[in-house]
Structure 1
Amino acid sequence: MTTDTDTAEAPTTDRGSSQPSDFAVLSRRISAAGLLGRRPGYYILRFGLVGLAYLGGLAGFLALGDSWWQLLLAAGFAVLFGQVALLAHDLAHRQVFRGRKATEPVGMLVGNLGIGLSYGWWMDKHTRHHANPNHEELDPDVSPEILVWSTEQAHGARGITRWIGRWEAFLFFPLLTLEGLNLHVSSLRALANPKLKRRWLEGLLLTAHLAGYVAALFLVLSPGKAVLFLVIHQALWGVYMGAIFAPNHKGMPTLTGNKRPDFLRRQVLTSRNVRGGFCTDIALGGLNYQIEHHLFPSMPTPNLRKAQPIVRDYCAELGVSYTETSLFESYRQALSHMHAVGAPLRAEARANKA
């Protein structure tokens, strides 16, 4: 199980030529602008603010006691868990520290202990996504496990996936309420994989998080309130995580087989940026600059906005389509694509009833 999120192919020359690749030319422009350097001050501030919010939330939880106001705090913790997950994401891409010695232990503290998400499992999954975004056979984020992402996947769907595929555009956000649970279950299942590095440490930290989480709920709250807190928190966290990641690639072109464009086009043509200001940057953790992030995964989050005009102008020079929409338009495009993908399944269901 690989755990290096910067292993996506980024050739420096065109295949079979001594000429620099399109990506290499862009990379030189980005480097000349000084956008690949670390931003320690930014991350000290960001980690500090999120850490204070986390500790403040825990203090507020204990201070409120067995109160119905805790359900509002559950919603707040859903957003907070999403922000912690975004920090784990930046750590995994080595945006914070240069080497593994600092990155991995901090990543496990933030991911495993902080929110109950296996850092090693997620790194492996995300690495494969970055190497081949929206590739139906190689990107785990578009594998047809529950949802289908192309008409070919729809035709091959079986069982519950085939039924959900008919109406997945309508079911997408309701299904996201289960994503928090899915992340915990997938993290625990990954511990059985002997290829997972430091799996005993990961298991210890995951167990500490889950045990502490459940114990806190049922020691402070009545059983009914504890269950409601857990459901609201995990459901809204799942929706928030899905809302962060859905605009990035859903509804963009998918790839199959060995015929793939070069690195730059593979990353740009399958990704979508989201327009917005400071609030969008905070809510989406900088992933609204998805194209720039996929081209330069280790670029610190605050530099992505500065890199955008360079990347956008260079794509215009090359005649490469650069997609950028509003947040709600990105959801509309993603859901419209999902509804179109399910059309053959709906037509088949109608024919069977006739």
Structure 2
Amino acid sequence: MAPQQEKGQLDPGVALPSSRLFTWEEINLRNGQGESARERWLVIDRKVYDITRFHKRHPGGSRVICSYAGQDATDPFMAFHVDKTPVKKYMKQLMIGELAPDQPSFEPSKNKLLVEDFRELRSIVEKMGLLKPNPLYFFVLLLHILLLDAAGWFVLWYFGTSVTTFIIATALLLIAQSQGGWLQHDLGHLSVFSNTKWNHILHEFVMCHLKGLSAKWWSFHHSQHHAKPNCFLKDPDIEVHPTIFSLGKPLSEELGRQKKKYMPYNHQHKYFFITMPLAVVPVFQIYSVYFIFQRKLWRELAWCATYFIRFFICFVPLLGVKGVLGELLLLIILESILFTWISQLNHIPMHIDYDGNMDWFSTQLLATCNVNQSFFNDWVTGHLNFQIEHHLFPTMPRHNFWKVTPLIKSLCAKHGIEYQSKPLFAGFADII
């Protein structure tokens, strides 16, 4: 159920078990918790699957598929998988039965009409071809990133290393890193090429060679966020260590009652500006390296090494070894600040709580808001100002977001759901 899971690790020739009928009550108990902690089931298109043993081998990671244990996973399954035919082929041996005829297709707690309307919307989106990418568009994006990166070096090489040229070069390199981050995000979601293999190959090049980070680590981490955004214990983006931050009212109150704190949460907005942004990218670097060695991703390690080798070869003759180390540190700090503010303004101001097992549409709209469209906002955020559209259709190419917006707004209006979009700086203020 993650962006990268296009192949199963099962034998498609295994015979199917005899069909059994289940109720939602039975399925809800198999959520990996409580008395049935060892069992994990989920439902896709009324079929019941036992993922108890499979989840650790899930190509998209264990946590993302387990976040829907005991629940209906039809819509996230549809959202994350580009080519569903081979995946369904490998799912056969996991199927243990289906919902009983007297059971509704959706869990009783969910809004049946809303679920049906969203699935109809998805069908319309597919017929309109909005999930089909335009590779030329992304080639231009990659070209402008490479030109920005080269321009950062050229300014220092041609004009010398004065304070002014150093600032200009750093700004160019920072923009290149930021834009590279948005492009790798597109590739990680398999939204650049129709062929998933090419998405993976270019994802490694952009994430590992141009940014020095693990592509697979990002995919595993980010797919968990998309599955259950702003849900405690399921969204890693809000699993901030409670000794520093507590995001969302429920967790803050819970920790307060337990007296689990080392920092004053009621004053965290005063130190967020410095502490949080400075920690993000350095922590990413640490976890990325740990992930590479843990999974023995030696090809990614080699790609990441080329990023630092290239940087040193280009800039040591101009800045010296200490200067290059300082420039690397400065870029990490500046990108961390930029990335934190741009990526979090769509989620941190929104509802944060434990998983309420809502339908896919409500889950995404409750935890996500947009930033108003403009050429600058589209470019500087990598089109993630269309965060609502992206969360509802994670494999949709960014150049089609604006086309689906009217359809989503119409569905929101029909069901009385707020579609939030705000100016860029208003989004920054809402983080505070």
Give yes or no for the alignment of 1:320 onto 2:420. no
Amino acid at match of 2:397: P
In structure 1, the partner of 2:123 is 28
Greater RCO between the two (CA within 8 Å, min separation 6)?
Answer: 1
In structure 1, the partner of 2:301 is 203
In structure 1, the partner of 2:255 is 156
Indicate how the Cα distance of structure 1 residues 72 and 164 shifts in structure 2: closer, same or farther if over 3 A, else same: farther
Measured after TM superposition, the shift of residue 224 of structure 1 is 5.7
Segments of 5+ residues of structure 1 without an aligned counterpart are 336-354
Measured after TM superposition, the shift of residue 32 of structure 1 is 3.7
- Do 2:149 and 2:172's aligned partners in 1 also have CA atoms closer than 8 Å? no
Question: Using the alignment, how far apart are the partners of 1:170 and 1:304 within structure 2?
Answer: 35
Amino acid at match of 1:297: P
- Identify the match of residue 75 of structure 1 among 171, 175, 185: 171
Indicate how the Cα distance of structure 1 residues 45 and 120 shifts in structure 2: closer, same or farther if over 3 A, else same: same
- Identify the match of residue 281 of structure 2 among 180, 199, 206: 180
User: What stretches of structure 1 move > 6 A for 4+ residues in a row?
Assistant: 5-8, 16-20, 157-161
Question: Using the alignment, how far apart are the partners of 1:135 and 1:142 within structure 2?
Answer: 8
Question: Using the alignment, how far apart are the partners of 2:260 and 2:336 within structure 1?
Answer: 21
1:116-144 superposed Cα distances (whole Å, 9 cap, x missing partner): 12111011000000000000110000003
In structure 2, the partner of 1:4 is 4
Instruction: Report the structure number with the largest CA radius of gyration.
Output: 2
Amino acid at match of 2:342: I
With structure 2 as the length reference, what TM-score do the two structures score? Answer: 0.69
1:175-224 superposed Cα distances (whole Å, 9 cap, x missing partner): 31343322222211212323xxx711111111222343345444421456
1:235-291 superposed Cα distances (whole Å, 9 cap, x missing partner): 21111111220111112111314x321011001111011113111000111100111
In structure 1, the partner of 2:183 is 87
Indicate how the Cα distance of structure 1 residues 31 and 45 shifts in structure 2: closer, same or farther if over 3 A, else same: same
Overall identity of the aligned pairs, in %: 24
- Identify the match of residue 271 of structure 2 among 171, 176, 190: 171
Amino acid at match of 1:33: M
Question: Using the alignment, how far apart are the partners of 1:159 and 1:60 within structure 2?
Answer: 53
Amino acid at match of 1:252: M
Indicate how the Cα distance of structure 1 residues 223 and 206 shifts in structure 2: closer, same or farther if over 3 A, else same: closer
* Structure-to-structure mapping, 1:259-278, within 5 angstroms: 259-278=356-375
Question: Using the alignment, how far apart are the partners of 1:15 and 1:39 within structure 2?
Answer: 37
In structure 2, the partner of 1:247 is 345
Measured after TM superposition, the shift of residue 148 of structure 1 is 1.6
Give yes or no for the alignment of 1:14 onto 2:113. no
- Identify the match of residue 221 of structure 2 among 125, 134, 147: 125
In structure 2, the partner of 1:110 is 206
* Structure-to-structure mapping, 1:91-102, within 5 angstroms: 91-102=187-198
Amino acid at match of 1:54: D
Indicate how the Cα distance of structure 1 residues 216 and 171 shifts in structure 2: closer, same or farther if over 3 A, else same: farther
In structure 1, the partner of 2:23 is none
Deviates more, 1:26-35 or 1:107-116: 26-35
Amino acid at match of 1:299: M
- Do 1:78 and 1:240's aligned partners in 2 also have CA atoms closer than 8 Å? no
In structure 2, the partner of 1:346 is none
With structure 1 as the length reference, what TM-score do the two structures score? Answer: 0.84
Indicate how the Cα distance of structure 1 residues 319 and 37 shifts in structure 2: closer, same or farther if over 3 A, else same: same
Deviates more, 1:237-246 or 1:226-235: 226-235
Amino acid at match of 2:368: S
Question: Using the alignment, how far apart are the partners of 1:138 and 1:78 within structure 2?
Answer: 31
Indicate how the Cα distance of structure 1 residues 88 and 161 shifts in structure 2: closer, same or farther if over 3 A, else same: farther
In structure 2, the partner of 1:51 is 146
Partner of 2:363, secondary structure, is helix
Indicate how the Cα distance of structure 1 residues 82 and 266 shifts in structure 2: closer, same or farther if over 3 A, else same: same
Question: Using the alignment, how far apart are the partners of 2:293 and 2:251 within structure 1?
Answer: 29
Partner of 1:289, secondary structure, is helix
Segments of 5+ residues of structure 2 without an aligned counterpart are 7-59, 65-72, 79-104
Measured after TM superposition, the shift of residue 56 of structure 1 is 2.8
Question: Using the alignment, how far apart are the partners of 1:181 and 1:159 within structure 2?
Answer: 29
Question: Using the alignment, how far apart are the partners of 2:222 and 2:117 within structure 1?
Answer: 24
Question: Using the alignment, how far apart are the partners of 1:164 and 1:220 within structure 2?
Answer: 45
Cα RMSD, aligned residues only: 2.9
Deviates more, 1:318-327 or 1:9-18: 9-18
Amino acid at match of 1:220: L
Amino acid at match of 1:156: L
Deviates more, 1:2-11 or 1:106-115: 2-11
Indicate how the Cα distance of structure 1 residues 208 and 248 shifts in structure 2: closer, same or farther if over 3 A, else same: same
Question: Using the alignment, how far apart are the partners of 1:164 and 1:58 within structure 2?
Answer: 43
Amino acid at match of 2:336: G
- How many residues were matched structurally? 331
